[in-house]
Amino acid sequence: MASQLSFEQAKKFLKKHRFPQPKELSVKSWDEAKAAASKVGYPVVLKIFSSKILHKSDVGGVKIDIRNEEELKKAYRKLSRIRGIESLIVQEMIPGKYVIIGMKRDSQFGPVVLVGAGGIYVEILKDFSMRIAPVTLKEAKEMIKELKIYPILAGARGQEKVNLNLLAKIIHKVSELAMKDKSLQELDFNPVVVNKKGGAIVDAKIIVSAK
């Protein structure tokens, strides 16, 4: 039987495997949210956590670029009214381009690794590149180059080139984990926010089966 990792479990998983993460804290009250924002540092993102809600943006569950306590309070009031939430997350606001990196274990082919244009328009843009694991670092770089958004990531028309090596390393590591750990059924890192200096996995959905 498969189940989704909680927020804290997902954080531990990412830390254990040395995936880049933003500063973030789970909160369940206004006082906790206020303290967390001060600790993380403005600007922040406030978002819901729920194992029952597949896409946070569909229910208005993400508020970005919150710059002060007054804006945080307004966002907190709105998000705390959403049904089915388990907690709210106060997260560091990271600038950059949005990419999705994922893995799904296919019954016939085994683990399939994906990279694509990320964010809230994943299903609309449908800009993906996929490989059956294992995926080498070289193959991961080739996957990125196959994307329609690659020229943007690579710095077209004066855009700042993002850290493509970081993206390739995350893809490669996802592939390695999928091959080693048969309990991993699905990984969904969306978005991975990447910029010139580096980046972080801003949202992670991790589904595992009992070992």
Here the CATH number for the domain that contains residue 56 is 3.30.1490.20
Residue 109 pairs in a beta bridge with: none
The residue out of 77, 92, 107 marking a domain boundary is 92
pTM: 0.92
Element (H, E) at 175: helix 164-180
191 cis-preceded (ω within 30 degrees of 0): yes
Q: Are 176 and 128 found together in one domain?
A: yes
Q: Which residue range(s) make up the domain with 42?
A: 23-92
- For residues 121 and 172, membership in a common domain is answered with yes
| Domain finish residue from 36, 70, 92 | 92
Number of domains in the chain: 2
Please state, in angstroms and rounded to a whole number, the distance separating the CA atoms of residues 105 and 190.
18
Q: What is the pLDDT along the chain (211 residues), one digit of tens a residue?
A: 899 999 999 999 999 999 999 999 999 999 999 999 999 999 999 999 998 887 898 899 999 999 999 999 999 999 999 999 999 999 999 999 999 999 999 999 999 999 999 998 888 889 999 999 999 999 999 999 999 999 999 999 888 999 999 999 999 999 999 999 999 999 999 999 999 999 999 999 999 998 6
Report the pLDDT value the prediction gives residue 159, as an integer from 0 to 100.
Answer: 86
**Does 8 map to a domain?**
no
With 0-12 CB in 10 A as exposed, 13-18 as middle and 19+ as buried, what is 189? Answer: buried
